[in-house]
Structures are given as C-alpha cells and as structure tokens.
Structure 1
Amino acid sequence: MHDDYLTNPSTYMVLEQLFLDAFIKTISEYNNQEEYTAPFYRTTYNNGQSFGDANPIFSARNAKRKKIIRIIIDEDENEISTAYKNTEHGVETIVFGGVSNLPELIAFLDNWTKQP
C-alpha cells in the first residue's frame, strides 16, 4: 500500500502523517505534549519541499528527559533494528524498518514515549 513512498509525494506525506498522528495520540493521553518537539529533525529543503528519503520519516525530542527518536524507513529492510547515539541533545534512539514493519514501528514509537 505504501510501497511507492519514494516516488509518490502523496504516499510519502501519508506515511509522515501516520507517524505524527500516532505520536500525538500517545502523548495526548499523558498530557505531556509540552515536553516534546516533533518533528525534531528538519526534513525539507529551504523551499519547503520534502527530502522524501524517509531518513527520518519521523523524529521527536523530549527535552525534559533528554532523549530523541529518529525513525528511518528503508526499502531494503524487512525487520526492525535499533541503534543508539549520544548527542548534545540527549540519547538518540534510531529505529530502522521497512514499510512492511509499520505496525511494529508505530508500536516502538508508542513504547518510546512511555519510557522514562
């Protein structure tokens, strides 16, 4: 369904919105929206056009807890993998997966927001 995300800007926007909607739903349940910045990483050129490469498809930062999440969709991935990186803004969790992993990626994002 979302397999053409790299060539179809409409599909790409749907994917971005899917993650943003899931994120907003989760943080709204805990009434801690003010702690977060999403998207955290810039994903557009100066003219506003999207990079469209899904790196990241979604990002967020919790300044209070000093943590960041970056979700990357890669067309060659069919499993989820994670990496961690120390940054000046906190510990960044980088999650890789493919379009076939969307439910798992959304679940990972949900769990990330609930972790201290």
Structure 2
Amino acid sequence: MGRLILGVLREVNVKSGLPATTSTERLELLDDKEHILGIKIVGGDHRLKNYSSILTVHPDVSEGRSGTLVVESFVVDIPVGNTKEETCYFVRALINCNLKSLSDVSERMAICPHSDM
C-alpha cells in the first residue's frame, strides 16, 4: 500500500442503503503511532455539509477477550430542511455502516493476514 498524504482525496461508493451513493473525502489527519484518522467530507450526492470526523483506535479487553475499541466523533452542519435529530440519525447510521465494514475487513485480515484486501 502506498504512503497516504494529508490532503489526498478519495471517492467512496456508499453501499449502506442510505440516501447517498457517493462521497468525496479528504484526509485531514493521520497518526499511525497514536492510531488516529481524521477526514472531512468535501463532496458527494448526500446532504452532509461541513462534516468532519476523528476516528481513534484503542486496545480493549471485554469479557476477558482482547479486542479493539473504535471511537468516532464528528461535527456537521444541519442542512436546510432537516432537523438536528434527522441529521444525527443519518450520520450515526453512516458511522455504524463504516464500523461494520471496518470490522468485516479486520476479521478477514485476521483469517488471511498476508492477502491484499
């Protein structure tokens, strides 16, 4: 995998069933040592405006099993015609979808650690 550069854009095809199919994200923060990722959504066919998020990953133990705790915080403007509750519902659904995808990829990597995903 190539080195990621701050400011690089990525195009995301949204497959969540939410009312969006594309999103353009810009990498704002990346700290491999501290396990921090920050992005800002700069385009797409959704109504998210001025959305940015910080994702952190921490080792965790739950019920005696080691695992990973992922924390994501975000800020977003409420679009005209939406309520705060509607906007938060949409973002939480999107985050849950992203976390499910991250979990699936992580589990596949644990089973086949040397394959390219």
TM > 0.5: no
Bigger strand fraction: 2
TM-score computed with the length of structure 1 as normaliser: 0.29
Greater relative contact order (Cα < 8 A, sep 6+): 1
Bigger helix fraction: 1
TM-score computed with the length of structure 2 as normaliser: 0.29
> Which structure: larger Rg?
2
